[in-house]
Amino acid sequence: MLRAGRALMFACGYRPRGKDQHKTVVEFCSESLGQDFQHLTTRFNRMRLKRHDFIYEPERPIPKTEALKSLESAEQFVQEIIQRIEKMNPQKRLIP
């Protein structure tokens, strides 16, 4: 999701700088995708926070059901970004 979000930012002519880049990407995606995708960007932000715990606090495992749901959300999120980038510039067709 982070890479897809960054791709959307780059396609729109922006790039995150400085500290809190992951947070900046989430906020940009939330604004760009709008209310229709608010549930996905909210989930993206929660996963961003949990990633930090997963990496730096390994005693906090992530349940399998949550991981599976996160994969579903990520697929929807990435597909929407692919469609938007291709719509902005059809020559940038992304091959999955």
Residue 96: is its pLDDT beyond 60?
no
Angle, helices 64-88 vs 38-56, to 10°: value is 130
Question: pLDDT per residue over 31-69, tens digit each?
Answer: 999 998 898 889 888 888 888 788 888 788 888 999 899
Strand ranges (DSSP E) for 1-96?
none
- What is the average pLDDT across 23-36? 91
pLDDT of residue 94: 59
Segment 80-91 shows an average pLDDT of 87
